[in-house]
Amino acid sequence: MIGAPLLEVKGLEVAYGHVSAVRGLTLEVHDGEIVALLGSNGAGKTSSLRGITGLIPPRAGRVTFAGRRLETAGPGTAVAEGMAHVPEGRRIFRDLSVADNLALGAWGRGRSEEPQRTQMVFDMFPRLAERRRQRAGSLSGGEQQMLAVGRALMSGPRLLLIDELSLGLSPLVTDELLADLVKLNREGLAIVLIEQFVHRALDVASRVYLLAKGQLAWVGTPAEAVRTGAVEAAYLHGGSR
Ligand SMILES: Nc1ncnc2c1ncn2[C@@H]1O[C@H](COP(=O)(O)OP(=O)(O)O)[C@@H](O)[C@H]1O
Ligand SMILES: [Mg+2]
């Protein structure tokens, strides 16, 4: 691949007290890519994203985003530089309206562009527009995930990191959301996708990183992943410790 990567992670280590969750992760995301981050439960996918975005300060390693070192900068900086995170479990504000949840996503970056971005999100997800005054907690699971993605888009990111897109959603709703992400990607947004429906992730990804037991087990294209059986191996042998 030509040119400097948009995101470059080298030797990332993430730990919770004495529990090591990610060891020596190296990963790159280039402009225009959808990168799938896969691995069985407990493999370290969520912890990797937390380390990359600075939600958890990494124990070691380097995170360079758009040429800027982030590993000691904290999550506010990651958002300001153009990285947005859709966390596992969505973490929307259930008691706030759809519109207020979106407005919170514009905090810290581009508040002046809030009206245009809100319109962009509503154009992308008309169901959110129809429900803009509704309490977020009363939305369906799929609509809540749209809201979580929409809120992340409010910061005008160059890279979206999505943790467990389909958690609790039907296959149909998952496919709809994936189609929306592919559209965003074609419009220039780079994406890191954690997704339990592995084959759906392989369908949309340009490259795949497989984690097992906190370490990088395999990197390659989706076609190679299928051909070599790498995915099955990581899920069979890479389970929780
Ligand atoms: N808040 C936490 N405190 C302690 N250990 C954690 C915490 N979150 C995750 N872990 C541990 O870190 C490892 C990686 O977990 P996680 O990153 O959530 O994996 P994944 O997202 O791939 O399922 C697991 O062993 C898990 O038990
Ligand atoms: Mg996880």
Same domain, 187 and 124: no
- Whether residue 9 is found in the same domain as residue 38: yes
Q: How many CB atoms lie within 10 A of CB 1?
A: 11
Distance CA 131, CA 33 (A): 32
- 170 and 66 fall within a common domain: yes
Same domain, 149 and 163: no
Q: Does the structure show a pLDDT above 70 at 1?
A: no
Distance 214 CA to ligand 1 centre (A): 9
Q: What does the block give as tokens for 83?
A: 């990285």
Same domain, 25 and 140: no
Residue owning the nearest CA to atom 24 of ligand 1: 42
What is the per-residue pLDDT across 141-184, written as a single tens digit (0 to 9) for each?
A: 999 999 999 999 999 999 999 999 999 899 999 999 999 999 99
Say whether both 66 and 173 belong to one domain.
yes
Q: What is the CATH number of the domain that holds 25?
A: 3.40.50.300
Of ligand 1's listed atoms, the one at least distance from the Cα of 20 is 12
The helix/strand/coil state of 36 is strand
- Quote the number of domains for the chain: 2
Quick one: 240 and 168 in the same domain?
yes
Same domain, 95 and 141: yes
Domain extent at residue 102: 89-156
Instruction: Give buried/exposed letters for 54-93 (b at 16+ CB in 10 A, else e).
Output: bbbebeebebbbbeeebbebebebbbebbbbbbbeebebe
Question: Do the Cβ atoms of 70 and 159 come closer than 8 Å?
Answer: no
Q: What is the pLDDT of residues 191-231, one digit of tens each?
A: 999 999 999 999 999 999 999 999 999 999 999 998 998 88
pLDDT digits 0-9 by tens, 3-25? 889 999 999 999 999 999 999 99
Structure tokens at 188: 């220039």
108: DSSP letter: T
Asked if pLDDT for residue 108 goes beyond 70, the answer is no
Looking only at the bridges linking them, the beta strands covering 7-16 and 207-212 are unpaired
Clarify whether residues 104 and 9 are in a common domain. Answer: no
CA of 112 to the centre of ligand 2 (A): 34
The residue whose CB lies within 8 Å of the most ligand 1 atoms, and thus the one to mutate among 47, 163, 194, is 47
Last residue of a domain, one of 132, 156, 180: 156
Instruction: Please indicate whether residue 45, judged by its CB atom, sits closer than 6 Å to ligand 1.
Output: yes
Domain ends where: 156, 181, 204? 156
67 and 134 assigned to the same domain? no
Distance, CA of 223 to CA of 216 (rounded, Å): 18
| Ligand nearest to the backbone CA of 50 | 1
- 60 and 16 belong to one structural domain: yes
- pLDDT for residue 240: 44
Question: Do residues 30 and 68 both lie within one domain?
Answer: yes
Q: Where does a domain end: 108, 141, 156? A: 156
Task: Give nearest CA residue, ligand 1 atom 10.
Answer: 21
Encoded amino acid at 217, one letter: A
DSSP three-state, residue 215: strand
* Model confidence pLDDT, tens digit, residues 28-59: 999 999 999 999 999 999 999 999 999 999 99
CA distance 37 to 164: 10
Ligand number nearest to the C-alpha of 21:
1
